Amino acid sequence: MNHFRNIDLNLLIYLDALLRERNVTRAAEQLNITQPAMSNGLKRLRNLLNDPLLVRTSEGMVPTERALSMQQQVRQILYSVEEVIQPSRSFTAETSERVFRIMVSDYAASTLMSPLLKALRDQAPKVTIDLMTPSDVSFHDVENGKVDIAINRFDDLPQSFHQKNLWSDDFTCLIHHQHPIIEDYSLESYLAAQHCWVSKTGFGVGIGMTPDAVQKLGWVDEALAKIGHQRRIRVFTRNYHVAMHLAREGLIATLPTRAAELYADSPDLVLRKPPFPIPAIDLQMIWSPLLQHDEGHRWFRQLMADVAAECCE
């Protein structure tokens, strides 16, 4: 305890930012302090822990083995402190005017938001929803509680995040009703046709795509690669509705079924199951540990889970 009294706990905040950013200047900007102050903090941390923590290399600042081993523990300590000092907020759904910020892909927004709005009208008519796209949000925004919930498919998540699967979805092909493939629907005709690719997982701004980058193309193309095939992609988009509209222009859109079914009543489009197996995908809801015990957030998470469950019935 005597040793503990001599430790400035702000140094843990500095260490957390440094290990996230692996750059002194960016870590300082994240904490809204000067670069010299962050450099001084790093120097004090090195003296305290008797370890360089971050080492400059040709690829930038690289954390030492000890720094990496501490990263998750430091984050958990800071979460615990923030939860203790965070003011408790009572919540009454019927009268609350709270704004809930949701990062959501357009696939999830199209399929979930309408039934969610209906539920809010009945249970919390004054609550407001702020929808944000994946490119609007970073892991840090969710981790710090600036975004209440993120809903998407996530390949990798920090261990600190809480998560819940909302549903699993298989795939459906959306095809113009006059497309030649309708008369001869097979794997061979599917491969001969032209396709629209659509996907957006995780957070952040997407990167450019090329047809040959099969390992980056996602579920549909990975499934084709496993059976030794590749489709002819003519358009890449990160927007499911764009893909669905392009199906009207003669491209085949292979989409999560719940998205494709939004166009089931369209007279010029036909829905068909893919002529090859594609593993189902999970739609996940994630949130920060800082919000885990928030009364209003608990209510909203449960509402979202209930709405998703009703969509699956």
Non-local (6+) Cβ contacts of 230 within 8 A are 191, 211, 214, 221, 224
User: What pLDDT sits at residue 190?
Assistant: 97
CB 190, CB 251: distance < 8 Å: no
240 and 175, same structural domain? yes
188 and 151, same structural domain? no
142 and 15, same structural domain? no
Quick: pLDDT tens for 176-217: 999 999 999 999 999 999 999 987 555 554 555 565 654 456
229 and 143, same structural domain? no
User: What pLDDT sits at residue 141?
Assistant: 86
- Report d(CA 148, CA 132) in Å as an integer: 11
Split at pLDDT 50, 70, 90, the class of 80 is confident
21 and 77, same structural domain? yes
Quick: pLDDT tens for 97-148: 999 999 998 889 989 999 999 999 999 999 999 999 888 888 788 888 889 9
User: What pLDDT sits at residue 135?
Assistant: 83
The answer to whether the predicted template modeling score (pTM) of the entire model surpasses 0.85 is no
Report yes or no on 209 lying in a domain.
Answer: no
186 and 258, same structural domain? yes
User: What pLDDT sits at residue 4?
Assistant: 57
Looking at 61, 85, 109, which one is the last position of a domain?
85
Most confident segment among 167-171, 211-215, 239-243 = 167-171
185 and 263, same structural domain? yes
Nearest alpha-carbon partner for 108 in 313, 289, 304, 306? 304
Nearest alpha-carbon partner for 302 in 132, 123, 131, 160? 123
CB 23, CB 60: distance < 8 Å: yes
Quick: pLDDT tens for 215-234: 456 889 999 999 999 999 99
Name the average pLDDT for the chain.
87
Looking at 22, 54, 85, which one is the last position of a domain?
85
Residue type, 174: L
Report yes or no on 129 lying in a domain.
Answer: yes
Give the structural domain span for 138: 99-166+284-311
CB 295, CB 303: distance < 8 Å: no
Distance set, CA 165 to CA 13, 60, 118, 281, 304 (Å): 31, 37, 21, 10, 11
User: What pLDDT sits at residue 81?
Assistant: 76
145 and 197, same structural domain? no
- Report d(CA 278, CA 169) in Å as an integer: 10
User: What pLDDT sits at residue 83?
Assistant: 66
118 and 19, same structural domain? no
Report yes or no on 91 lying in a domain.
Answer: no
288 and 156, same structural domain? yes
- CATH assignment at residue 14: 1.10.10.10
Q: What is the SS3 assignment for 96?
A: coil
- Report d(CA 310, CA 106) in Å as an integer: 19
- CATH assignment at residue 149: 3.40.190.10
